Structure 1
Amino acid sequence: MINVSRVINSPRFAQEFTVYRKSGVWNAGRYSESETALSMTGVITVADPNDLEQIPEGDRQKGAISIHTSQPLQVTTQSGTSDEIEWRGNRYRAAQLFPYADYGYYKVIAVKMDPSTGVEA
């Protein structure tokens, strides 16, 4: 199999971005959430129509990006919340993960968030 992680991590293609990962604990019946900033590198492009067809809400998305990285990002599950990615001054929420680990990378479709409300734009 071809391992494309060399391309994804190459300084010619890759760029740095910040991932905000949330975690929390229950304490005395209240949920307390914290956010950790992680520095990552990868290839980020604008999501194309084929990418948007792969996520259920694709026809409603505006400002979606496609991220290719050698490290997995988290999407919403029962045990946690989606990672948020800061790129070019905007925040995006990881909406869909495609684990191509056999080829050395992960693909994530992320949707732009409204800075005033913190929800998808």
Structure 2
Amino acid sequence: MMASVRAALLRRLKLVPSLFRNDPLFRYASIAAVLALILIAVSIGQDMSGRSALSGTGNRTGSAATAPERVRQNGVVPATGLETTVPPVPGSPDMPAPTEDASPPAIAPGRPLNGIDVAPGPRDSFGTIPQGDKPR
């Protein structure tokens, strides 16, 4: 059983060079597979070394480990000079009162469509054969 599997595998391995030269689909698929394997290996290596794949910073030691004060541990640089305010919690006394003149929209989720006149849309010629002279 193992001998027949090994023989079939060897026969297919002997076809690889000619398929790579003559079949563009096989060529590009094998190039994509190799690139995917390289990316997976790099990702696994970064995970094992403790480095983040996206931030480029990891657990470094020595003089390279000193980072500017404004860089946080996750590699996020906080914005400086920007005023940020937290909105008030709904229902709190700081929340502005809703305006009385704002009526709810006629079409809204959960509202019935009774009493709303729906007109058909404008006629267009989408999907029809143009009539008249042919363009030259």
TM-score, normalised via structure 2 length: 0.17
Q: Please identify the structure whose Cα radius of gyration is greater.
A: 2
Higher percent of residues as helix:
2
Relative contact order higher in (CA < 8 Å, ≥ 6 apart): 1
